[in-house]
Amino acid sequence: MAHPPQLTPEQRAAALAQATLSRRTRADVKKGVRQGTLTIADVLELAKSDPAIAKMRVLELLESVPGVGRIRALAIVERLGISVPRKIQGLGIHQRASLLQEFTSQPLGRGRLIVLSGPGGVGKSTVANALRKSSDFWVSISATTRQPRANEVDGVDYYFLTQEEFDRRIADDEFLEWASFAGARYGTPAKPVEDALARGRNVLLEIEIEGARQVRSHSAEALLVFLEPPSWEDLVSRLEGRGSDSPERRAHRLELAQTELAAAKEFDVIVINDQVDKVVQALLSLARSSST
Ligand code: ADP
Ligand code: 5GP
């Protein structure tokens, strides 16, 4: 047996760093497939120029396709004559062609993903609650580590999680996006969003700005809507009128709101929340006019 090459500590460190980078690339690709931003055809194309992707197992790739999972992925590779350990770089011409054929039929009538963001207190959750009553939208339920307010119900307003459970979900890549805001963490569970879009439902995410940026960076299909108050005075009075935050938390939120308002220009559309009904109508017409 040939002796393994003797590596210097520097070479060993470089090899380890490269392996970590390759694993991260593959995890990103799987995430993209899971979220519907990358198709199988895209991944096979990317693998031509990226050795880390070329080394991904076909089975692993197929398992990331929404609605496939391990059992169906095993059945597909068996039917297409692809061995379980086969990597993308080892696929023959006919195997590539049959894989592409298997996955080119895109789901028809995919729903529209709309992200509603804006400064705290502008009225995002009021608008989201109004939209929950409409059959035109499915409104995502976020997870958070903050304490429930009076009247908030677990599984209806939020999934209230412990820090440990939130950490686990991050580690298992279960969030479409997540961010820290005013001392707590908030995240959008990815799977229900993907399932609703695949079923043709329009999906609304009501999230703060950092989360909206994350959705933009890995989802080309999302339409980003920024909700603005009619004036700064309206924002202050809405935050103060809500009365559910402590004075310290309210002061912190006002400070944050100034930075948040400056992010409006990063969004696709700005809607002014002077009347909740008008905002709801604007979102409904955006979903209709931009649906494919
Ligand atoms: P956010 O979710 O953006 O933090 P909320 O939905 O909690 O904001 O709204 C903050 C406060 O503003 C609430 O008391 C809500 O009733 C009030 N509000 C929301 N929209 C309007 C509006 N168009 N006009 C007047 N008050 C509003
Ligand atoms: P609140 O504590 O007032 O319910 O929400 C605080 C902020 O967190 C709001 O701006 C709200 O839009 C945002 N938020 C709620 N859910 C999510 C989420 O899943 N992800 C992100 N990034 N922000 C969220």
Go through the domains of the chain in sequence order and give each one's CATH number. Answer: 15-104 (1.10.8.50), 113-290 (3.40.50.300)
Q: How deeply is 133 buried, as exposed, middle or buried, from its count of CB atoms within 10 A (0-12, 13-18, 19+)?
A: exposed
67 lines ligand 1 (CB under 6 A): no
Query: Cα separation of 192 and 285, whole Å?
Result: 23
**Sheet of 175-181, strands arranged across:** 159-160, 143-144, 184-189, 175-181
* Threshold 0.85, pTM exceeds: no
* 264 alpha carbon – ligand 1 mean position (Å): 18
- Radius of gyration of the chain from its Cα atoms, rounded to whole angstroms: 23
Maximum CA extent, the chain: 78
| pLDDT at residue number 172 | 97
Ligand 1: residue whose CA is nearest its atom 9: 123
Ligand 2, CB cutoff 6 Å, lining residues: 120, 124-125, 142, 146, 177-179, 181, 186-188, 206-208, 210-211
Q: Can you give the pLDDT of all 292 residues of the chain as single tens digits?
A: 567 778 888 888 888 888 888 899 999 999 888 877 788 888 999 999 999 999 999 999 999 887 677 887 888 899 889 999 999 999 998 888 888 877 765 445 789 999 999 998 899 999 999 998 877 899 999 999 999 998 899 998 999 999 999 999 999 999 999 999 888 999 999 999 999 999 888 999 999 999 999 999 988 889 999 999 999 999 999 988 876 678 888 888 888 899 999 999 999 999 999 999 999 999 998 887 754 4
Enumerate the β-bridge partners of residue 185.
180
* 208 alpha carbon – ligand 2 mean position (Å): 5
* 123 alpha carbon – ligand 1 mean position (Å): 3
CB neighbour list of residue 74: distance below 8 Å, 6 or more residues apart? 59, 84
The SS3 assignment for 113 reads strand
